[in-house]
Structure 1
Amino acid sequence: MKPAPFVYHAPADVQETLELLAELGPEAKVLAGGQSLVPVLNMRLASPAHLVDINRVAGLDEVTVEPGGVRVGALVRHAHLLSHSAARTAQPLLRQALRWVAHPVIRNRGTTVGSIVHADPAGEMPAVLALTDGHVLLRSVHGDREVPASSFFVGPMECCATADELAVEAVFGRFPPGTRTGFSEIARRHGDYALAGVALALRLGDDGSVTSARASFVSLTEVPDVLDLTDAVAGATAADLPGLAGRVEEVVGGHVDPVDDIHASADYRRHLAVVQTHRLLDRLTAGEDADGTVRLPDAPTDQEVTA
């Protein structure tokens, strides 16, 4: 398979990139990591007349940890962010989710911001952006705008960025101290798109009871959103959670909206969402080992929850 013919552009800086996008409009596609775009081009699901390669643009490959969040530039590869010690300390959910993104060879080239802009409901990083109350910085010749995750995703495989805008960076918010996070995903094979995935952030009171719980989902909703589980599990301790299984099933099962496909039925995906959410709640309230990590015994070694 080969893509349709296109004109290749390799701008040297952000300003040149923005001017190209303003001139070319909807006829152009931006190439960063290319791990999503290139297959689409090869299958001719998209046939842009112009390809704007930003890999030579300086200043877009930086990760910056700030009090309010983790800033990830448009050219930061998944592997770079995964190995960034300050980023994973500031927001452990980044590492927990990134380990599930495809395979190492794809993580070495694919970009985190590109994955977010691609807006695939089966992508891990859009769900993480939503749960962390993050935002995306969009830039054009007309200026900048910060779009919160709640407004950025407008449909499956569709974000709100206009044709003349470049997603310069994504900012993942930081949780309050003491927040426990976890990420769980089930796929036919490790590295494949998830049949169902759950990201969870939970806080406990001094007595070990739940004070807040929020979740986002992978492959289960048309766009990544956040489900507040607090009312369903508030005040519960680890010993109480088994008795709340029915309530968790009601809330989670009523929120997600999976579809049938050749890989799994909607009912099965919904079941996986409920089971994974309850397991994460159970592990996150149960305690941790010396380094703040609880490894799930019935999961792959790179599935973990962190307090």
Structure 2
Amino acid sequence: MKPPPFDYVAAADLDEALEALADASVETRPLAGGQSLVPMLNFRLAAPERLVDLNGIDELSRIEETEDGGLHLGAMVRHRQLERDPLIVRRTPLLAEAAPFIAHPQIRSRGTVGGSVAHADPAAELPAVFLTLGARVRIARRSRDGESGSRAERTLALDDFFLGPFFSALEPDELLIAIEVPPSTPGEGTAFDEVARRRGDYALAGVAARMRLNSGGVCEEAAISLVNGGSTPCLMREAARTLVGAEPAPEAIGAAAAACAETSEPAADMHASEAYRRHLIRTLTARVVSRAAARART
């Protein structure tokens, strides 16, 4: 299969990319790693009139520590960097733990964090991981009539960004430019795991968890997100609430796992039934939350 014809713009900087996206007379799509968009083009599932290549924009590839000790990831940071960058490994080990589950090394070397989040695929690992970490996205566009400056920006909690399967809060003239992860706190532990039919396949189900314990070993904060657990990436708030206010004993973890399975909305397909996916969600949640609790204690 070959894509339909399109015009190609290699943006030299962010302003040039935003200028192209602001042109409403032409249907334009940004091109990051191309791991989702290019197959869609080849199968004619997408037919934009113009592609704006972001690979030459240096500011979108930055990995920086924020003033409060959090992490700034430019939208063009590659999946492979999540596994290897010393700052990422030290500050957000959950990203380093989850990244090897993403497809294969060749794909991780091209795919980008911004592309994965903007694509809003409920079967992708990174949306669930970033939700669990309480991340926010920075979004930019060219200034509209009456606005000062060459560009306008807004910051949005990731939980408000995902609106449906493959559907986000991005407007046609907007570009996701960075993901910002808040700093970890003392007593915090994280974990990730998934089950797939083969290494590199989409997960039948996956779970990311974060837990913060006080000095007495009581859970003060918890977050759980699912991979392929519903029609959109989402936090499992009810399940996480069952953990808060108690020590993460097997009974509490079992209750959280049961709540996660019961409130999830996995879809049946040729690879797994809904009942089997719920079974996986329950098993994985118990495993991942137990691991996060153990790490929070150390």
TM-score by length of 1: 0.87
Residue 187 of structure 2 corresponds to residue 186 of structure 1: no
1:225 is aligned to 234
2:180 to 167, 171, 196: 171
Distance in 1 separating the partners of 2:59 and 2:240: 40
Q: State the distance in 2 between where 1:88 and 1:183 align.
A: 14
- Equivalent positions of 1:55-134 (< 5 A) are 55-66=55-66, 67-134=68-135
1:298 aligns with none
**Residue of structure 1 in register with 2:40 after alignment:** 40
2:3 is aligned with 1:15: no
Q: Secondary structure at the match of 1:280?
A: helix
| 1:256 lines up with 2:264 in the alignment | yes
Shift of 1:92: 1.2
Q: CA deviation at 1:210?
A: 3.4
Q: In structure 2, the residue corresponding to 1:60 is in which secondary structure? A: helix
TM-score of the pair, normalised by structure 2: 0.90
Work out which of the residue numbers 276, 283, 287 in structure 2 matches 1:279. Answer: 287
User: What SS does the corresponding residue of 2:138 show, helix, strand or coil?
Assistant: strand
1:241-278: CA deviation from partner (whole Å, max 9, x where unpaired): 0x346523441123211111111111111111111111
Letter aligned with residue 32 of structure 1: A
User: What residue in structure 2 maps to residue 152 of structure 1?
Assistant: 161
* Other-structure match for 2:148: none
Residues in 2 aligned to 1:123 and 1:17: alpha-carbon distance in whole angstroms: 26
- Residue 212 of structure 1 corresponds to 221
Where does structure 2 lack aligned partners over 5 or more consecutive residues?
144-151
Query: 3-state DSSP class of the match of 1:261?
Result: coil
The answer (yes or no) to whether the contact 1:65–1:87 under 8 Å persists in 2 is: no
Aligned partner of 1:265 among 273, 277, 293:
273
Percent of aligned pairs sharing the same letter: 40
Cα deviations by residue, 1:4-23 (Å, 9 ceiling, x for unpaired): 11111112111111111111
Secondary structure of 1:115's aligned partner: helix
Secondary structure, aligned partner of 2:134: coil
Contact map agreement 1:74 1:169 (CA 8 A) in 2? yes
- Rate the CA distance shift 1:47–1:232 in 2: closer, same or farther, 3 A: same
In the alignment, the residues of structure 1 paired with residue 93 and residue 35 of structure 2 have an alpha-carbon distance, to the nearest angstrom, of 24
Query: Using a 3 Å threshold, how does the CA distance of structure 1 residues 51 and 231 change in structure 2: closer, same or farther?
Result: closer
Preserved CA contact (<8 Å) 1:121 1:219 = yes
Q: Which runs of 5 or more residues in structure 1 are unaligned?
A: 293-305
Q: Post-superposition shift, 1:227?
A: 2.2
- Letter of the 2:19 counterpart: E
Give, in whole Å, the separation in 2 of the partners of 1:154 and 1:230: 21
The Cα of 1:136 is off from its aligned counterpart by 1.2
